[in-house]
């Protein structure tokens, strides 16, 4: 397993000073371009959740969609997009979250989740946890049970895992970058 995780980690390119000086940007597009790394990433996520009776997988726009949709298919679960404002056509619940400067909003269709359904959140990367804490709130407003949040990458120094754990959301991540 650790060999597989090293292979995935090594497929992720790091770009210094993007988007701003001092930031080391972990870029998943290099993982996606490598079919073995992409396949293995999906396989490991599916293996972790295959016996957990997940009803639906929620993916967050945009990079979360790339990983959430294939995992949903493989688990035999539905896929639900959580989107940036004004993209979803039916009635929505909205949740504001903190960005580095200011706030943004995420939305989910009010009828996407049935009461009591077990929901898995998938995103590419956990940084401050703002995106996925807002997503967990949207799922709870919808009557869903947040089973877990799973990520390809965790940046533990940015505190996202603690933020999510403190609100009762358990995290599963494949690779850490310190
Ligand atoms: C990135 C990333 C995560 C989020 C992580 O998305 O894909 O969703 O930031 O940061 P956080 O834990 O501090 O919230 P971004 O908002 O850049 O959107 P994108 O996927 O559309 O590029
Ligand atoms: N890579 C990609 N997305 C991000 C990062 C990063 O290092 N930090 C916050 N969002």
- Distance between alpha carbon 74 and the CA centroid of its chain, in Å? 16
- Confirm whether the ipTM is greater than 0.85: yes
Cα(176)–Cα(94) distance, integer angstroms: 30
How close is the Cα of 37 to the center of ligand 2, in Å? Answer: 19
Mutation to probe ligand 2, out of 13, 155, 159, 177 (largest number of atoms < 8 A from CB) = 155
Lowest mean pLDDT among 93-102, 147-156, 163-172: 93-102
Residue 138: count of CB within 10 angstroms of its CB: 28
Query: 126 CB less than 6 Å from ligand 1?
Result: yes
Phi, then psi, of 118 in degrees rounded to 5:
-90, 120
**Of the given ranges (36-40, 57-61, 95-99, 120-124), which has the lowest mean pLDDT?**
95-99
How would CATH label the architecture of 51-176?
Answer: 3-Layer(aba) Sandwich (3.40)
- Structural domain boundaries in the chain: 51-176
Average pLDDT, the chain: 97
* Residue 125 C-beta-side C-alpha neighbours within 13 Å: 16
Tell me, what's the pLDDT at 45? 98
CB atoms near residue 53 (< 10 Å): 10
Give the active site residues. Answer: 63, 100
Query: Looking at the predicted structure, is the pLDDT value of residue 33 above 80?
Result: yes
**Enclosing H/E stretch for 154:** strand 145-154
Cα of 59 from ligand 1 centre, angstroms: 11
For range 138-148, the mean pLDDT: 98
C-alpha atoms less than 13 angstroms from C-alpha of 61 in its C-beta half-sphere: 13
The model scores a pTM over 0.90:
yes
Share of the chain above pLDDT 70, in %: 100
- The string of pLDDT tens digits covering residues 105-138 is 999 999 999 999 999 999 999 999 999 999 999 9
- Asked if pLDDT for residue 100 goes beyond 80, the answer is no
pLDDT value of position 101: 81
Q: Looking up tokens 């929620």, which residue turns up?
A: 58
Alpha-carbon distance of 28 to 33, in angstroms, equals: 9
Testing ligand 1's pocket by substitution, the residue of 127, 129, 156, 159 carrying the most ligand atoms inside 8 A of its CB is 127
Query: Other CB atoms closer than 10 Å to residue 47's CB: what's the count?
Result: 11
Residue 109, H or E segment: strand 103-109
Q: Is the Cβ atom of 125 under 6 angstroms away from ligand 1?
A: yes
Q: Using the predicted structure, report yes or no on whether residue 1 has a pLDDT greater than 90.
A: no
Ligand closest to Cα of 159 equals 1
The pLDDT value recorded for residue 95 is: 98
Q: Report CA torsion sign: 115, 120, 124, 130.
A: positive
Query: Nearest CA to 134 among 109, 159, 163?
Result: 163
């Amino acid at each position: 397993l650790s060999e597989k995780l090293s292979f995935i980690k090594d497929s992720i390119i790091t770009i210094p000073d993007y988007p701003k000086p001092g930031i080391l940007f972990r870029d998943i597009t290099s993982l996606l371009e490598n079919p073995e790394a992409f396949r293995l990433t999906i396989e490991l996520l599916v293996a972790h959740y295959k016996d957990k009776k997940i009803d639906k997988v929620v993916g967050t726009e945009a990079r979360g969609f790339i990983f959430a949709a294939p995992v949903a298919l493989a688990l035999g679960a539905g896929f639900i997009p959580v989107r940036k404002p004004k993209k979803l056509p039916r009635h929505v619940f909205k949740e504001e979250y903190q960005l580095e400067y200011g706030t943004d909003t995420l939305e989910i269709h009010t009828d996407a989740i049935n009461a009591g359904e077990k929901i898995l959140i998938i995103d590419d990367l956990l940084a401050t946890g703002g995106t996925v804490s807002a997503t967990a709130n949207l799922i709870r407003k919808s009557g869903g049970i947040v089973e877990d949040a799973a990520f390809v990458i965790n940046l533990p120094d940015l505190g996202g895992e603690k933020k999510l754990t403190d609100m009762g959301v358990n995290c599963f991540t494949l690779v850490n970058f310190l």
